[in-house]
């Protein structure tokens, strides 16, 4: 991978300014990556059909080249640039959930460079609902490959400022389209496998997909197959890398009646800890020596998802010794699955 320049003048521009927006489109047309807003997280975008442009995404992010990129479209006609065909059973899924936070893996066309799919025969396609993302893709006239716009291994960015914190000096433009409303990356659905498989849980859950794909499964959810699957066939190449981790170590607290005792015991075992920040999903009484940050005060899982990466980054900036994160109960609500998928990868310890 070519070394990336880190002395560019990075500017945040407002999506509402047409002159500025057209500069970013020109930059994309010149094979340079630009950070753009989407409803899930901010993406680091480049022309998906241009291997030079896409290779720059990998350098800017420090991303391993065996981890494929998702391609973003702004109309169903653009699908034709990426895939030969959409299977009949998949069409109703796209009609229902696009535009939105769902990525579908389909056999790729020859136009998709190998660097995008990391040599795999499939390509991930997503039609984002964010109006600014749609506008930029439409102005470009080509699909945009875009992974999350963080440095590899860091929590995904949900604001333009998060992107700036990670990529300052490495790209020219960050388009500000406000805070991402979903806050977690898209659901990745493999429709080339039998049965169709959710490889990465997100806002579109298996229960939501089941009316359209009755046999859809969530990868790794069958406890009898879990270890074999994870060891022998990581679902997405991205799975084997360290993810979503702030600099401070994260301790995950399982739900349960004795949660308070477990937190107290952890704190009493770490008398050396200078600063402990706890990310909570519901209102709770104060714990001595612990600063509270709320992901939600009411247990609303959509709110927890929206705030998770942002709170991990905010807590990290306060240089704590530990970040304690309250787990969401996967048994109680399927929406917790996407949250726990990210949190368990960020955590170094579970209590």
Q: Which residues contact ligand TXA by CB under 6 A?
A: 38, 40-41, 43, 67-70, 103, 105, 117, 120, 122-124, 126, 146-148, 185-186, 188, 199-200, 236-238
Least distance in Å: CB of 237 to ligand TXA? Answer: 4
In the chain, DSSP finds a helix count (H) and a strand count (E) of: 11, 16
Least distance in Å: CB of 240 to Mg ion? Answer: 13
Report the residue number whose CB is nearest to Mg ion: 148
Rank residues 118 and 273 by Cβ distance to ligand TXA and give the closer one: 118
Q: How far is CA 157 from the centre of its chain?
A: 8
Query: Cα–Cα distance between 37 and 39 in angstroms, integer?
Result: 7
Write phi, then psi, for 221 (nearest 5 degrees): -90, -15
What are the residues binding Mg ion (CB under 5 A)? 148
Rank residues 43 and 113 by Cβ distance to ligand TXA and give the closer one: 43
- By a kind-dependent CB cut-off of 5 to 8 A, residue 43 interacts, out of Mg ion, ligand TXA, none, with ligand TXA
Write phi, then psi, for 103 (nearest 5 degrees): -105, 135
Rank residues 40 and 47 by Cβ distance to ligand TXA and give the closer one: 40
Rank residues 148 and 159 by Cβ distance to Mg ion and give the closer one: 148
Least distance in Å: CB of 78 to Mg ion? Answer: 22
* Cis-peptide, bond into residue 195, ω within 30° of zero: yes
Least distance in Å: CB of 193 to ligand TXA? Answer: 10
- By a kind-dependent CB cut-off of 5 to 8 A, residue 143 interacts, out of ligand TXA, Mg ion, none, with none
Rank residues 32 and 154 by Cβ distance to ligand TXA and give the closer one: 154
Least distance in Å: CB of 320 to ligand TXA? Answer: 26
Q: Would you state the structure tokens that stand for residue 214, as one six-digit string?
A: 């009755």
- Say how many residues make up the chain: 351
Rank residues 151 and 351 by Cβ distance to ligand TXA and give the closer one: 151
Least distance in Å: CB of 1 to ligand TXA? Answer: 16
Cβ neighbours of 151 (radius 10 Å) = 16
- By a kind-dependent CB cut-off of 5 to 8 A, residue 117 interacts, out of Mg ion, ligand TXA, none, with ligand TXA
Least distance in Å: CB of 281 to ligand TXA? Answer: 22
Closest CA to 202 of 306, 282, 64: 306
Query: Cα–Cα distance between 312 and 154 in angstroms, integer?
Result: 10
Listing DSSP states for 131-175 in one string gives HHHHHHHHHHTS-EE--BSS-TTSPPP-SHHHHHHHHTTT-SEEE
Element (H, E) at 262: helix 259-269
Element (H, E) at 292: strand 290-294
Least distance in Å: CB of 235 to ligand TXA? Answer: 7
Closest CA to 304 of 286, 327, 322, 323: 327
Least distance in Å: CB of 92 to ligand TXA? Answer: 21
Rank residues 69 and 280 by Cβ distance to Mg ion and give the closer one: 69
Report the residue number whose CB is nearest to ligand TXA: 238
Rank residues 110 and 272 by Cβ distance to ligand TXA and give the closer one: 110
Listing DSSP states for 206-236 in one string gives HHHHTTTSTT-EETT--TTTHHHHHHH--SS
Listing DSSP states for 8-39 in one string gives ---EEEETT-HHHHHHHHHHHHTT--EEE--S
Rank residues 180 and 281 by Cβ distance to ligand TXA and give the closer one: 180
């Amino acid at each position: 991978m070519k070394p990336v320049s880190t002395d560019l003048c990075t500017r945040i521009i407002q999506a509402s300014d047409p002159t500025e927006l057209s500069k970013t489109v020109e930059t994309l047309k010149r094979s340079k990556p630009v950070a753009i807003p989407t409803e899930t997280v901010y993406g680091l975008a480049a022309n998906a059909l241009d291997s030079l442009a896409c290779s720059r995404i990998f350098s800017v992010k420090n991303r391993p080249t065996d981890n494929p990129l998702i391609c973003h479209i702004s109309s169903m006609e653009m699908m034709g640039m990426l895939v030969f065909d959409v299977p009949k059973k998949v069409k109703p899924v796209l009609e229902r959930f696009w535009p939105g936070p769902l990525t579908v893996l389909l056999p790729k066309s020859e136009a998709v460079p190998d660097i995008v799919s990391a040599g795999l025969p499939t390509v991930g396609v997503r039609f984002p609902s964010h109006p600014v993302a749609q506008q930029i893709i439409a102005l470009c006239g080509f699909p945009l490959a875009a992974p999350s716009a963080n440095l590899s291994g860091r929590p995904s960015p949900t604001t333009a400022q998060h992107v700036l914190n990670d990529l300052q000096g490495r790209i020219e433009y960050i388009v500000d389209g406000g805070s991402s409303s979903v806050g977690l990356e898209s659901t990745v659905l493999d429709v080339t496998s039998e049965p169709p498989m959710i490889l990465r849980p997100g806002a579109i859950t298996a229960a939501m997909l089941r009316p359209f794909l009755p046999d859809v499964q969530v990868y790794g959810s069958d406890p009898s197959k879990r270890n074999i699957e994870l060891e022998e066939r990581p679902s997405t190449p991205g799975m084997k890398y360290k993810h979503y981790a702030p600099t401070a170590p994260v301790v995950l607290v399982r739900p349960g009646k004795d949660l308070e005792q477990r937190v107290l015991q952890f704190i009493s075992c770490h008398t050396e800890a200078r600063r402990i920040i706890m990310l909570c999903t519901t209102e709770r009484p104060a714990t001595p020596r612990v600063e509270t940050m709320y992901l939600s005060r009411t247990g609303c899982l959509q709110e927890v998802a929206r705030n998770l990466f942002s709170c991990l980054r905010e807590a990290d900036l306060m240089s704590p010794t530990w970040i304690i994160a309250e787990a969401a109960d996967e048994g109680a609500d399927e929406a917790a699955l996407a949250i726990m998928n990210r949190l368990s990868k960020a955590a170094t310890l579970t209590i």
